[in-house]
Structure 1
Amino acid sequence: MAVFALFCVLLGGAAVSKEAVPAWKDVWEKAGKYETEQREEDISRDAAAGTENEERTGPDFRLYAQSAVLMDGDSGRILFGKNESDIHPMASTTKIMTCILALELGNGDDLVTVSKNAASQPQVHLGAPSGRQFYLKDLLYSLMLESHNDSAVMIAEHVGGSVEAFAGLMNQKARDLGCTDTYFITPNGLDASGTDTEGKERAHSTTAADLARIMKYCISESPKKDEFLAVTGTKAYTFSDAEGKGTYSCVNHNALLTMMDGAYSGKTGFTGGAGYCYVGALEDGEKNFIVALLGCGWPPHKTYKWADARALLQYGMKNYEYRNVWKDVEIPEITVENGIPEDGDISRGMTVQAEVAVPEKAGPEEQKNGGESLYLLLREDEQPDVRLSMKKELEAPVRRGDTAGKVEYELNGRTVAAYPVVVKEDADPITLKWCMEKIAELYLE
């Protein structure tokens, strides 16, 4: 086993570029066997893991993971990152994308037939023979709780028509979310390489930043977020195939659910190329955190991911609080070219007043943004800069509510909030008709 561990580290331990990494089939099988043999023991002891990291609460603390992210689960801002843009294989954390697409594009009551391809998948697997049928909703628990590789292929073939077509859907969703450094080949996360649509050789891989972003979509943005949370938050689940020939039991291997109060969703992963990986979410009062870990040790260091997850989440809970950073910004009047002043004296020119468009509060809670409130999750030493940008002048006609600029709140060079500046009054244009009327008024007087 020690030789195998060293073999994995030497071959799979480094970050990969967008070029391919070898698809070590024998490593997959050995890794799956190792994880299956150790799983029962680890489930009982994982709740005690990570205690050595409890005091690592500074931004420079040591992490086992090669890449890591702590994200504000509400705003999506990265609160802490270690090599967060480095590209790595991500193992079974892949399955959060498989699950959310199955929920969005599939029907839970659909019958899914086990293909020969699905039945041939390496451990960890459900082990159902080809031809057997399952309900899609049951396979989601097999996918997310036990991380069964064959269930991932069953789902992909049913929803996408083929594994390749489903991978295309996964990559499109990643692009839609802005995860441009993520590339999916398999629905189960087994190490693989292939040619993308541009003809480039790429590995099945992601970054810690992208993985956290995908998790944010799954738990808070997707129209199927509630269903995703119901599956990933379930501790144990039992189901049968459609004909009742067999019964299958699943236990959730996301030990963080019992390890830390407030943990509510997540997915583990391991392959020989990826090492141990993890993505998960935790609520602490009003605060919501997402943690993503890639390359977090190799056998026998299965608990390193829990140590790192605890360290990052404890750092977030201890060092970040919501603060109201709203600032009143003085908005100057704006010149309107060819506008008619209220008194009709065009010799003095015309200006209009403007204001910051303040959204209404979404609810009665104190820390809801809206009104003159902007609550951001910040460290004690963080304070956003406020920047006003305005148009120099407007061309009549101008109508109340027209946009004339914006107020931006920036933190570490990134915009964390923005509000439009809008015109408060109308401004009609000078027309030939108006000029003729004014001339007539002068002569009539």
Structure 2
Amino acid sequence: MLAAVLFLPVGAGAVSARRAYAVDAVSGRVLYEKNPTERSLIASTTKIMTALIVCEQCNVLDRMRIPKEAVGIEGSSMYLKEGEVLTLQELLYGLMLSSGNDAAVALAIYCGGTVEGFAELMNDKAHNLGLTGTHFENPNGLDSPGHYSTAKDLGTLAAYAMENPIFYKTVSAKNVKVGDRYLTNHNKLLWRVAGADGVKTGFTKAAGRILVSSATRDGRRIIAVTIDDPSDWSDHAALMEEGFSRYAIGRIVNQGDRVGTVEVVGGEKRRVEVLAAEDFDYSVAPEEHPCLALPGPGFIYAPAVEGADAGVVYVLIEGKAVGKVPVVYGATIEQTQPEEKSFWKKLFHRGSG
């Protein structure tokens, strides 16, 4: 793949990030990418994984007493005090709205036993999600050579995390009160972009400005990621507007649609229909015309059984495969039976031999 591939018609210079990625989270269509698999420091966007682990593996209604190890952590903070008692949900707000490095350590200790143990949980989850360009060493994103991710991996992670209702509730909140603390979300897009509902900001001098965002309109969700981007707020707003206005999710294939036929060698009939086994939706621009292509040699050997697995059909846009749909045979085609010779034909055949 080329180092930078542009899909949206916004011009290569319109996004100032060194690395970027935008995807329609519903259809999976990549809307924009620029050095999407280049590894980078990711600063506090690390906390997307931290929050996800807590949401999936711990009870957020649990209350914990803040240990001294979670107090006075460098960088952004929700200013925890040793001995105070908070719920995990309150710590999640401090983690994702105030970007509290102290909240990250507190949650890591509670859910993972130690910071190192929690990092192992983070890496296990990254592996399970197929985030091959990602490795974690801490729960808060403080710079470390072995702590990195990619724009594409962060987009995949965010799309998955936004499906978790506790995570969604946390990152979509604009303001919350935690004890005597009033927390305001650092994500300015929640106020600036229609439908914005997540997810996380990040910054260190070494990493630059990093932003992972989400917006949902009419049942569609777009996830955008920029890394090392001095104009991240405007870039994300532009990516969201282009993605929602230019592309619309459409039904490409309905379950039961005839997607082609294949030859049946040795069958009672010469061809059998192939039908889509499920629906397929995809984000499509007005000028695009998806088409279908059945792979393989174009024939099968009898018999064919109605409803049996027939492989897949590929969905193509401008000659590029953008998805695949399982297909089944639309009818049963029995194998032809060999002709039974009469007694006289057998006798004649024997005598002439």
Q: What SS does the aligned partner of 1:389 have?
A: coil
Partner of 1:86: 38
Higher relative contact order (CA 8 A, sep 6+): 1
Aligned CA distance change for structure 1 residues 384 and 57 (closer, same or farther; 3 Å):
closer
Q: Deviations over 1:299-336 (max 9, x none)?
A: xxxxx210111121122233222344448533134235
RMSD (Å), alpha carbons: 2.8
CA contact (8 A) 1:390 1:406 kept: no
Q: How does 1:42-121 map to 2 (within 5 A)?
A: 58-121=10-73
Partner of 2:348: none
Cα distance in 2 for residues equivalent to 1:74 and 1:152: 30
- The AA in structure 1 aligned to 2:123 is N
Partner of 1:356: 275
Cα distance in 1 for residues equivalent to 2:258 and 2:203: 50
State the 1:435 CA deviation: 12
Task: From 316, 322, 327, give the equivalent of 1:420.
Answer: 327
Q: Deviations over 1:110-135 (max 9, x none)?
A: 22232332213113112223333321
State the 1:270 CA deviation: 1.0
State the 1:188 CA deviation: 0.8
Task: From 177, 181, 192, give the equivalent of 1:238.
Answer: 177
CA contact (8 A) 1:57 1:311 kept: no
CA contact (8 A) 2:24 2:223 kept: yes
CA contact (8 A) 1:68 1:84 kept: yes
Aligned CA distance change for structure 1 residues 85 and 381 (closer, same or farther; 3 Å):
farther
Partner of 1:33: none
- The AA in structure 2 aligned to 1:127 is Y
CA contact (8 A) 1:404 1:423 kept: no
Aligned CA distance change for structure 1 residues 355 and 328 (closer, same or farther; 3 Å):
closer
Cα distance in 1 for residues equivalent to 2:249 and 2:300: 37
Cα distance in 2 for residues equivalent to 1:324 and 1:208: 28
Q: What SS does the aligned partner of 2:59 have?
A: coil
Ranges in structure 1 where 5+ consecutive residues have no aligned partner: 1-55, 194-202, 241-246, 298-303, 342-349, 360-369, 440-445
Task: From 258, 269, 289, give the equivalent of 1:383.
Answer: 289
Task: From 156, 159, 168, give the equivalent of 1:213.
Answer: 156
Which stretch shows the higher mean deviation, 410-419 or 64-73? 410-419
Cα distance in 2 for residues equivalent to 1:57 and 1:355: 37
TM-score (norm 1): 0.67
Cα distance in 2 for residues equivalent to 1:219 and 1:170: 17
Aligned CA distance change for structure 1 residues 294 and 60 (closer, same or farther; 3 Å):
same
Q: What SS does the aligned partner of 1:330 have?
A: strand
State the 1:178 CA deviation: 1.6
Counterpart check, 1:226 vs 2:165:
yes
Counterpart check, 1:400 vs 2:306:
yes
Cα distance in 1 for residues equivalent to 2:258 and 2:335: 29
CA contact (8 A) 2:27 2:249 kept: no
Identity %: 30
- The AA in structure 1 aligned to 2:217 is D
Higher-strand-fraction structure: 2
Q: What SS does the aligned partner of 1:273 have?
A: coil
User: May I ask how many residue pairs the two structures share in their alignment?
Assistant: 330
Counterpart check, 1:314 vs 2:219:
no
CA contact (8 A) 1:356 1:421 kept: yes
CA contact (8 A) 2:105 2:115 kept: yes
State the 1:75 CA deviation: 2.0
CA contact (8 A) 1:120 1:150 kept: yes
Cα distance in 1 for residues equivalent to 2:87 and 2:75: 21
Cα distance in 2 for residues equivalent to 1:180 and 1:273: 22
Q: What SS does the aligned partner of 1:206 have?
A: coil
Ranges in structure 2 where 5+ consecutive residues have no aligned partner: 1-7, 343-353
Cα distance in 2 for residues equivalent to 1:387 and 1:157: 52
Cα distance in 2 for residues equivalent to 1:98 and 1:258: 25
Aligned CA distance change for structure 1 residues 83 and 204 (closer, same or farther; 3 Å):
same
Aligned CA distance change for structure 1 residues 390 and 425 (closer, same or farther; 3 Å):
farther
Task: From 159, 184, 188, give the equivalent of 1:251.
Answer: 184
Cα distance in 2 for residues equivalent to 1:84 and 1:141: 29
CA contact (8 A) 1:352 1:427 kept: no
State the 1:68 CA deviation: 1.0
Cα distance in 1 for residues equivalent to 2:101 and 2:21: 26
- The AA in structure 2 aligned to 1:413 is K
Counterpart check, 1:410 vs 2:316:
yes
CA contact (8 A) 1:352 1:424 kept: no
TM-score (norm 2): 0.84
State the 1:399 CA deviation: 4.0
Counterpart check, 1:125 vs 2:125:
no
CA contact (8 A) 1:275 1:295 kept: yes
State the 1:177 CA deviation: 1.6
